[in-house]
Amino acid sequence: MIRRWIRLVRITPLLLGIFYSVPQVASNSVVLAQNAQQFRLQALDYHQQALSIMRQVGDRTGEANILYNLALVQQSLNDIPSALQSIQGAIAIVEDIRGQLLDPEFRTSYFATVQGYYKLQITLLMELNQRNPNQGYNSQAFNVTEQSKARTLIELLTESKADIRNGVDPQLLQQEQDIQTQLDTLDKRRLELANSRDNNQQIATLEAQRSTLETQYRNLQAQIRATSPKYAALKYPQPLTLEQIQQQILDDNTVILSYSLGEKRSYLWLISKTEMSSYELPAGKIIEDLINQKSPPPIYQPPH
């Protein structure tokens, strides 16, 4: 049963892409639209059932992937608030998993596979900004962009073999590794029990143990931040928000340009000490091609 739902969920993004690409011929447009809407609603149901299954078996990686695909389906149904809620849930799981991976190279490769999660969250926020320009969604999108860049920085430092642990209390580092190992062991045991019946009590016990370890891990992070701020700034990066950048970094004669390149569209933020403006740009591939051209690129006019 579980495998059936997983197969259905995995092909959904592909089928959604087929519906998006079908030419809307006048004589068939109504039928095509009805079929597409029916499929999307069916996909929504599949994903919601698959999400429940993933949570029951304790597969957190699978849960994050289902939430990401669910957000895509909800976006196709024009339910942007629900899509945003789903992708935020996926990113919360991704952040938790990333922090528990012990192997630096595995952590780097894992983060590379989930970059699309952040890109989707940025896109959804900017879509909401178009509908409600004065609700601060573009500021939230900028903050997500900076968060993603901060995560990328630590992975690049790890990949370059930079010693970010210099000056950290070895005992704290050992406690950090011990908790991560225990969490990994609990998750593996949780998956083993999920494949058997009549293990609800054991699963509940494991979940309680995991909750306790997560609390200990958060407390340890706070202790590391207090005693080793340089290490904490890299291991648990807390990027500056838009308001902090304007208050702490910028002066009256300085502006910051920040951008996020996406598969279908990209975004640019122009930030001064008192104002912030956002702009829609073409797909990242188009921008990269324009940059590589020797002749000056044409001025881009966003669609209205």
Burial class (CB in 10 A: 0-12, 13-18, 19+), 150: middle
Predicted pLDDT at 294: 55
Predicted model pTM: 0.66
Contact (Cβ atoms closer than 8 angstroms) between residue 240 and residue 146: yes
* Higher-scoring residue by pLDDT: 194, 247: 247
Question: Sign (positive/negative) of CA torsion 272, 278, 279, 282?
Answer: positive
Q: Where are the domains of the chain?
A: 1-162, 163-238, 242-292
Average pLDDT, stretch 115-125? Answer: 92
Task: Give the pair of three-digit tokens for residue 238.
Answer: 């807390």
Residue with tokens 């590794």: 177
- pLDDT tier for residue 24 given thresholds of 50, 70 and 90: very low
Predicted pLDDT at 33: 61
Contact (Cβ atoms closer than 8 angstroms) between residue 181 and residue 217: no
Predicted pLDDT at 300: 57
Q: How far apart are CA 295 and CA 299, in angstroms?
A: 12
Q: Is 281 strand, coil or helix? A: strand
Average pLDDT, stretch 231-251? Answer: 74
- pLDDT tier for residue 69 given thresholds of 50, 70 and 90: very high
- pLDDT tier for residue 161 given thresholds of 50, 70 and 90: very low
Average pLDDT, stretch 198-202? Answer: 72
Task: Give the pair of three-digit tokens for residue 176.
Answer: 């950090």
Q: How far apart are CA 47 and CA 5, in angstroms?
A: 8
Predicted pLDDT at 90: 94
* Higher-scoring residue by pLDDT: 124, 220: 124
Average pLDDT, stretch 211-225? Answer: 80
Q: How far apart are CA 203 and CA 52, in angstroms?
A: 16
In sequence order, which ranges of 78-199 are alpha helices (DSSP H)?
A: 80-100, 104-113, 115-131, 137-159, 170-194
| Domain boundaries 1-162, CATH class | mainly alpha
CA atoms within 13 A on the CB side of 2: 13
